[in-house]
Amino acid sequence: MNKRVLLPTDYSKNALNAIRYALELYSNVRCDFYILNAFHISGYTLDSMRVPEIGEPYYEAAKEESEEGMERLMQIIKLHPQNDKHQFHTITTFNSLSEAIKIVIDKKDIDIIVMGTKGITESKARIFGTNTVNVMEQIQECPIIAVPNDYMFQIPREVVFPTDYKTPFKRKEIGDLIEIAKLHDAKINVVHIDKDKDGKLSRKEEMNKELLQEILQGTDYEMHFLPADKISDGINKFIEENNCDMVAFLNRKHLFFGSVLSNPLVKKIGFDPQVPILELNDN
């Protein structure tokens, strides 16, 4: 069965860049790409008392604009070297981005989402776009790759996977990390950053580390221990020194802090991403 990849777009340059990244990342994989534009109507919000209906001038104008944008985007994609392993499907819908994504995941059994970190409406001051953060916060059904603004595709050769070994790993939740690593002969660098700087793990953490090693068997991986005052500094330093091309992290919704935004590691590296971020969910 083909891999099913969802590509949300607001027709911005960054969204197009993320689409190109996805086409390159999965160039040797049979894929169905679902390109989604969730359009809005100025003056209306989804929770307002009155929602515009099909046939009303505002709705029809916004729908037409969305469809014309999709047509232009498909013309641009056709300029990209054609790949007979790839098929494209387009979806335009009046909805919030997160809700539209949930519906498509459900209807099309989506495997992964690839999107840009910044759209048309994002201010230059905001490095990591609100839309992307909202999607990462709200979508737990499948992994998400967030591609930084203007990031030129590079084959992922070195992937960083930060962990604290506090909770057990499941093969399913890191499946996409393993798949990408095997697709591109990438090395997975498991990085444990220790603020105490003694490098000691508890018995439980040691067991979780062994479990992760078992799951990663058959891949090229290396375990690293880094002493650092700040977790984010340690990760960023590791990325720079090892020329890493991707950061993968587990967004565990059951943990005390609950979400990406309140996870201090992701907050620090996630809001100024130099390389694509692969967010894995424990669904």
Q: How many structural domains compose the chain? A: 2
The whole-chain average pLDDT of the chain stands at 84
- Choosing from 114, 147, 180, the residue where a domain stops is 147
Strand 86-94 to strand 158-162: parallel, antiparallel, or no bridges (unpaired)?
Answer: unpaired
Residue 167 lies in a domain: yes
Q: Is 14 exposed, middle or buried (0-12, 13-18, 19+ CB in 10 A)?
A: buried
Residues contacting residue 76 through CB under 8 Å, at least 6 positions apart: 16
| pLDDT at residue 167 is higher than 80 | yes
* Range of 148-162, 183-197, 221-235 with top mean pLDDT: 148-162
Using pLDDT thresholds of 50, 70 and 90, give the confidence band for residue 216.
very high
Residues 207 and 81 in one domain: no
Using pLDDT thresholds of 50, 70 and 90, give the confidence band for residue 258.
very low
User: Mapping DSSP to helix (H, G, I), strand (E, B) and coil, where does residue 221 land?
Assistant: strand
Residue 44 lies in a domain: yes
- What pTM, to 2 d.p., does this model score? 0.88
Residue 177 lies in a domain: yes
Strand 277-281 to strand 144-147: parallel, antiparallel, or no bridges (unpaired)?
Answer: antiparallel
Using pLDDT thresholds of 50, 70 and 90, give the confidence band for residue 137.
confident
Which DSSP string do the residues of 15-74 spell out, in sequence order? HHHHHHHHHHHTTTS-EEEEEEEEE--TT--TTSS----TTSHHHHHHHHHHHHHHHHHH
Residues 122 and 229 in one domain: no
Q: pLDDT at position 177, please?
A: 96
| pLDDT at residue 254 is higher than 50 | no
Contact 253, 150 (CB under 8 A): no
Q: How many residues does the chain have?
A: 283
Contact 74, 87 (CB under 8 A): no
- What digits encode the pLDDT tens for the residues 48-77? 556 667 767 778 888 899 999 999 999 999
* Domain that includes residue 255, residue range: 158-281
Q: pLDDT at position 135, please?
A: 84
- pLDDT mean over 228-241: 79
Contact 67, 91 (CB under 8 A): no
Residue 89 lies in a domain: yes
Cα 17 to Cα 215: distance, rounded to the nearest angstrom: 32
Q: pLDDT at position 69, please?
A: 95
Q: How far apart are the first and last CA of the chain?
A: 21
Domain containing residue 181: CATH number? 3.40.50.620
Residues 131 and 173 in one domain: no
- Choosing from 147, 177, 198, the residue where a domain stops is 147
Residue 153 lies in a domain: no
| pLDDT at residue 124 is higher than 70 | no
Residue 233 lies in a domain: yes
Q: pLDDT at position 133, please?
A: 74
* Range of 35-44, 149-158, 221-230, 248-257 with top mean pLDDT: 149-158
Residues 45 and 117 in one domain: yes
